[in-house]
Structure 1
Amino acid sequence: MTLPLLLLILLLFTGLLIFAANFSALETALFVLREKDLLHDDVLPRSEKSKKLLLNTSTTLQEAMLLGSISNLTLTATALYLILHPLTEAGFQPWISTLVILSASLIIVEILPRTCALRAPSTVARFTLPLLGISQRFFLPAIRPLLGFSRSIAARLTPPRSRPPNLLSTDELVTFIDMKEEQGSIDKQEAGLLHHVTNLHRLAAHDLMTPRVDLPLMTHDAEDQEAAATLESARHPFVAVYDRKQDGVSDLINIQQWKLKGRPQWRSVSQPPIFVPESIPLIRVWTDCLQSDPAAVAVIVDEFGSFQGLLTHKNVVNYILSKTAPTSDTQPNIQSIGANRYLINGQARLDEIEHELDVNFDEDDLDTIGGLATSLFGGPPKPGQQITYKGIEIKIKRTNRSRVQQVELQLPPAPDHR
């Protein structure tokens, strides 16, 4: 056997070891995460694609198991070829070669990855999901028929009582709502309400929170008179008590409860904060923290634990109701002010703007137009500053400290098809 061919086979064998170990670790991590409360374990990766894979655990687990099985089969065939040809030709006993390669493969592919996944499932999931995403792009179209066949066999072998209910996906539910609206079964307002309820599954905790810059803050060592003045003038239902030593929120004060109890010393009515990562799905925060208590509140933190804002029961309810029954003084997120010119609320989501204005920002790591503007300028912009991005002129209209409150978009003219 020539040296280049031997090197190629060894390179293939090494690559298969990495692939098989990756999918072995991912399988175990997904199994563990399915049994744990994701809300209290910051497992969601920053990449939108990886986040979607992790949230769709059942499908991702099936694909990881199938790709892992294929990797193991290919790895076994390659190992047999190495044992029977290059190693035997080099004078090694086949049974010794088999024992060494089998032991090494077992440790590298099974024992080490699965042990790591059991100890740190969230970290392992974040590191192994990108390779699954790449594998989907190249290999999934070829193995999709096999995946469908295995699912159909599993469905036939599963007893009827053990089968999960056939739930509609979010896209199927949206289509169903549109169909019912066209048939006249529900009116436009009811359809809008249902659409925004289903849209909750696409939002993260930070999408509806009240940002830190808009919240009343109070230091934990504030004098009673100063604290009372802060609580009395607060416009938000909650005041966050900030501890400089801990560099974070130590307590929360419900303003309504403080007033109803006769405005006592603030520590007697304070409540401990519930910390929630900003990337956690909104529907999960609603179900686990906010749904059962109208006075509930969650403290939103970033990946480094820094305070980002507050999310309340009222935030979620107002989001749903404001879309279908807006008050007279509510300004829409997108306002047309001329030919291809629009005033946009700084907190308007990029996907909403893309849908309404038929544009494409193609930004997976940013959610709002204000965040995009801040990223493009390399820091908090000032009113009047302009920048062009993908042919769209973005002009800053209003800011509040480091937060972009309103921008103006000038879209390029539509192409002339005459």
Structure 2
Amino acid sequence: MIPATLPAPLAPYDLAFWLIGAVILLLLALSAFFSGSDTALTAASRSKLRARTDKGDRRAEAALEALDDSERLNGAILVGDNFVKILAASLATALGMRVLGWGGVALAVLVMALLVLVLAEVLPRTWARLAPEDVAGRIARPLGAFARFLAPVVWAVRLIVRGLLVPFGIRANHSGPVFSVQDEIADALAVAQSSGTVQKEDRDLLMGALDLGERSVEEVMLHRSGIEMIDADLGAAEVLDLVLKSPHTRLPVFRGERENVIGVIHAKDLLRGVRRALQERGPEALQNFDVLSTAMPPYFVPETTPLDEQMREFLNRRTHFALVVDEYGSLRGLITLEDILEEIVGEITDEHDTEATQSLVPGPQGDYLVDGAMTIRDLNRALDWTLPDEEANTVAGLVIHMAQSIPAAGQVFSFQGYRFEIVARRENRITRLRIRPLEQPLPDDEAQAH
């Protein structure tokens, strides 16, 4: 119920009026601190901070430590900023009511909205964007102290959030982050692209880098059916011929069956070995040349390895090539450093790439002729489509999953708002499809085959 009488009004010359006003300004300053800290920690360059640290800058060193502990600091920023904003708005509403009565409530809301927007959001974030490394260095230590003070509150908020998600069947990883900024960055990039501030190519590049930790080796590897391999029982002349004809510099060597990979031949190592043998023993050296003497030991990786971890492992091992195996040790495919980089920058081709046909060919009616082995993610990124990739990695795999069979050439399917026509099939593989968006997407339960 609304009280019949209001508390005695405050006059502008009352001490309580000025005390409450000072507290509101202090809270706005704290909110500006949190907003600027959030922007500075997001925009600060690690390389610039590291360069400053090497020159003895203690603030830059503190900022680097803060970036390494960004999850805890993000939680403190989120909790602290919301608390001070709500408290400032509540005090301003109470002050407006005491000074002007019920009419002061609306005035307090308007004034606080303007002050929060200008002083606590736009101004500190603009300053932080103009000099992110300087701001990060200044706020790192006080923000760290505040995060330690708020640690129990942040922990309690995480616990409550996870508890609220349980009834919906969502179980958050207790060791994983709750206050992640990746989704916010993705949303910001989408808005920036729609407004024309960021080009699609730049957005794809940034999102590709952000998604590396969320994707596994299995999703980008070359399937074993497409791997060029060398039989260890072949003669040296035949191996040389295969290596020279191949567009690849590294080729796995198997003995008996393709699953039994015993080494990896690098074209340069093989040519060096052959040249050395010819110099020592003459032309007849090729007859007894041991190809495996130039092979490197195979490097195997699990198919579930995240791409960012695999890229770091490639850099640490100073190698670019790995064979992918499943949990039973069976060969699944191969992955290279170039495959991972292509997830960020797009397709990389050179003068030795022999693929003459495009994997994505536009048609006259708004449709596209697509290679069945093309990944769903590459197709979505190229055309800004939204095909699901939870159940399959390739376009052909998605059609087989939705159809629950291996369709024949000429069959047409409509699901997920797109029309799929099977153009070509080789044995049990769909090799070419024609795809176009439907004008009115069909719901999942109405997906049908013709």
- When Rg is computed on C-alpha atoms for both structures, the one with the higher figure is 2
Q: Which has the higher contact order (CA 8 A, sep 6+)?
A: 1
For normalisation by structure 1, the TM-score amounts to 0.50
For normalisation by structure 2, the TM-score amounts to 0.47
